[in-house]
Amino acid sequence: MVPSDLRYSKEHSWVRVEQDRAVMGLTDYAQERLGAVVYIDLPAVGERVKEKTRMTTIESLDGETAEIYAPVSGEVIAVNDNLQHSPELINDDPYGEGWLVVIEPSNPGEIRGLLSAEEYEEYLRTEAGLRR
């Protein structure tokens, strides 16, 4: 299920716009591919991130480490501290309690460049090779 009220990156993150801020997390597809998440290294509040560059890393139970890329450029103004003690929230509720960070975008136009839910579903079917 791909929520229709979010925007999506081809790197499998989602963005929910709340006022002038971008709440960001991983899609259900991304968390399934990662497997059981056991650790996340969140960026610090105040850190500046750049669109499509590494923002953080996540480690899964099988020892795999995945790089997570910022969907938009800007300043990290909040992080989900609950993930430090309960990283499994990323698996359990990727579109809710498993959110990662809140970014104050420096270029709001980048959000408009993200995929709609329909475009992301099509991307999953074609580019990512999913058959739904």
Assess if residue 1 is contained within a domain: no
Assess if residue 11 is contained within a domain: yes
**pLDDT level of residue 129 (50, 70, 90 thresholds):** low
- Residue identified by tokens 């408009």 is 112
**pLDDT level of residue 128 (50, 70, 90 thresholds):** low
Tell me how many domains the chain contains. 1
Assess if residue 33 is contained within a domain: yes
Q: What is the CATH number of the domain that holds 117?
A: 2.40.50.100
pLDDT the model gives residue 106? 97
| pLDDT per residue as tens digits for the range 40-82 | 999 999 999 999 999 999 999 988 899 999 999 999 999 999 9
**pLDDT level of residue 99 (50, 70, 90 thresholds):** very high
Rounded-to-integer distance, Cα 106 and Cα 72, Å: 8
Rounded-to-integer distance, Cα 25 and Cα 47, Å: 17
Here the tokens at position 52 are 């499509």
Assess if residue 87 is contained within a domain: yes
pLDDT the model gives residue 132? 42
pLDDT the model gives residue 131? 45
Average pLDDT over residues 86-91: 97
Q: What is the DSSP string of 70-132?
A: -SS-EEEEEE-THHHH-TTHHHH-TTTTT--EEEEES-THHHHTSBPHHHHHHHHHHTS----
CA 17: distance to chain centroid?
Answer: 13
pTM here?
Answer: 0.92
> Which residue range(s) make up the domain with 120?
7-126
Nearest to 21 by CA among 77, 94, 68, 93: 77
Rounded-to-integer distance, Cα 120 and Cα 14, Å: 10
Check whether 90 has a pLDDT greater than 50: yes
Assess if residue 94 is contained within a domain: yes
